[in-house]
A and B are shown apart, each in its own frame.
Chain A
Amino acid sequence: MVFIFGVNFPESQLVSRSLQSFYGIGPSVCTKLMARFHIHQTAKIGALGDRQINDMAAELSTMTLENDLRRQLVENIKRLRDMGTYRGRRHAMSLPVRGQNTRSQVMTARKLNRVDRRG
């Protein structure tokens, strides 16, 4: 098991998969991160050197990830609402924000658009 950014990963897991398990790291950020530390595509967690792991952990700690990122997202929506913008109001009403029609399908907006959005 290798401990990266507060999570234990099994050694047989791919580095890319492990990184992408964090909220805020998708394929693109993951590719850039791995390129930065010269980790090849199919590298497993167990094959990383100590230095690579430490560097990566240091880099991850400077990034806005997980709860910080979620909080940031919620704050952004809150800010819109507090200013009384249209987007803020639409979020508060759980309605589409970007001009979509609301006649029939607004299921996704009902689910996602809210002030205390989960992420």
Chain B
Amino acid sequence: MSSSICLRCLKRSLVPIEASLPPTAAQRAAFSTSPSLSANPPKKKGAVGKPVVRAGKTLKLAKNKRASTVRPPAPGERKALRKRVVLSNTNALEVPGLQDLTTDNVDGGAVKGMRGTVVGLGNDTVDALRALEAFKPTQGWSLFRRPASLVRRETAELAELLQAVKESDGQGQQQVERRVVFGEKLSGKSVLLLQGMAMAYLQGWLVVHYPDAKDITIAHTSYRPVQTADGDTIYIQPHYTAQLLGNIAKANHGLLSGMRLGKQHQLPVPVQANISLARFAELGANDAELAWPVWQALWSELTAPSQPETEGLQRPPIFVGLDGVDYIMRDSAYLDGEARPVHAHDLALIRDFTNFLSGKTELPNGGMVLAATSASNRPSAPTLEHCLSRGHAEPQLPSLLAARDRLREQCTTAQSTADLDLSDIDQLLITLPTPLADQLRVFRRKLLASQGRGIFSSETIQQVCDAFQPELPRWDPYLAIDQRVADVMGRVTARKVQGLSKEEARGVMEYYARSGMLRGAVTEGLVGEKWTLAGEGIIGELEKGAVRARF
């Protein structure tokens, strides 16, 4: 029989328990004066596994934490918000008696009569302009109850030009007006273009608008090379063309649906022979692959001579507008096969426009080609700038020469320089563009200095007058000129958009006041103050100073 306890255990059980066990802390405490915890501190719990990430010294507050619960914006949502055009402000007052620009008052004389007043735009005009993307988000449309714009000197001039084109109808060759408007930032170039489009639309013209040349040339849309009939390589932009076709079809729907195809075109898809031009343009707008052939065919239809007696083959005059012309007068951001920059004039859409602008493509039914420069975030286009300054100075030259000749006549009768009538020279100094004004200033100084040595002699004055040969701005021969740009700009009228006159400024400020956007009475003093602060009537600055600024 085995025992229930082993011998070793039995032996251990005989040793006193206290001696066999290691002394515990509590037992030792009886022999120490220091507290047990201090003598034998418990081990700190160290980090197990990874070391602790170093916490920075930055102050972290709960309020600085970003809330990440918000849904991120969908693709295109932020761009849509950025490009959103608001044309109404429900807080602004309805202006009583605000006249609209209508088909009845759109002729040259009537518009001239409305100079200095603000006129509204009718609903269908607004729709058409919106479809053409003529309103820009940076303009002040969202400040007033409904879209309205000031009729200024340049607007009246534009109306007269449209009238002249209209009246040239049926007198052999149709007139086509080609011009580029330029001017300071916020001087109203784009709105002038918009007014031109509105007037052309109301007169029953077909309106085509390239809303922003920047979008076409900065290489943000697809492109593809094609060979033209004369062997050149040009670059088509299928998606942008489709978008433009959509705009044209939408804005001119009434006109285009009354017209039909009159020629045979080679298209990649079969098209009904007598399809209306509206449906034809929509066809191109819906399919980017079809857009380019449709664009070409559409333009060949629209630039065909009108046949008013045949149903559907009547063709109206055409208004072609483009904003941001600086972008098309230089190399684009697109690259050719060898990674060299493509000149903007090699882009097919731009080439079509420059052909209209230079007159290479005829508009047999008349029309107007109007381009506006852009002064904010402007790319450098030195050739364009030169052509514009020269084109602006050229018409002023005769008045300068006439003033000189008058002076020369005076000096035969004058006894001293004090007798010379310099008032028209002083007047010209204010109105002339800078390059001519500088030369005139030197001439004036020489004229007055000619008597400096004491004796007045009419011969000296005559010599000074003869020596004064004002020169137009000349191209710096050490810079390479862009010949293609110079050729296009050769026959184009350059028109500078100046500041408003005081009367026009008063007209627009009264409109601000009647809309409830400008508090207080519009007095002579207030108009003068705002006009001066706005850089002598730069309309955008005037609006900033009078409506947007809050003190």
Contact = CB atoms under 8 A, between A and B. Distances in A.
* Pair from one complex: yes
A35 B220 contact: no
Contacts of B221: 40
Contacts of B335: 31, 34-35
A31 B339 contact: yes
Interface string A41-74: 1110001000000000000000000000000000
Contacts, number: 30
B224 interface: yes
Interface residues on B, range: 10 to 19
A44 to B, nearest CB: 10
- Majority SS of interface residues in chain B? loop
B220 A42 contact: yes
A63 to B, nearest CB: 16
Interface string A67-108: 000000000000000000000000000000000000000000
Contacts of B382: none
Contacts of B337: 35-36, 38
B334 interface: yes
A32 interface: yes
B222 A47 contact: yes
Contacts of B224: 38
Interface residues of A, number: 12
Interface string B203-238: 000000000000000011111110000000001000
A36 B339 contact: yes
B223 A38 contact: yes
Contact of B219 (A12, A32, A36, A42): A42
A40 B220 contact: yes
B471 interface: no
B222 A32 contact: no
Nearest to A47: B222
Contacts of A35: 335-339
A87 to B, nearest CB: 33
A32 B339 contact: yes
A57 to B, nearest CB: 18
A40 B333 CA distance: 9
A12 B76 CA distance: 12
A17 B217 CA distance: 22
Nearest to B341: A35
Nearest to A37: B337
Question: Residue among B220, B225, B235, B339 with the most chain A CB within 10 A?
Answer: B339
A34 B222 CA distance: 12
A74 to B, nearest CB: 30
A36 B338 CA distance: 6
Nearest to A34: B335
Contacts of B225: 38
B287 to A, nearest CB: 14
Nearest to B235: A38
Nearest to B336: A35
Contacts of B222: 40, 43, 47
Contacts of A32: 339
Interface in A1-58: 12, 31-32, 34-36, 38, 40-43, 47
Nearest to B335: A35
Contacts of A12: 75
A85 to B, nearest CB: 36
Interface of A: 12, 31-32, 34-36, 38, 40-43, 47
10 contacts: A12-B75, A35-B337, A36-B337, A38-B223, A38-B235, A40-B219, A40-B220, A41-B219, A42-B220, A47-B222
Interface of B: 75, 219-225, 235, 333-339
Given A34-B335, A43-B222, 4 more contacts: A35-B336, A35-B337, A40-B221, A47-B222
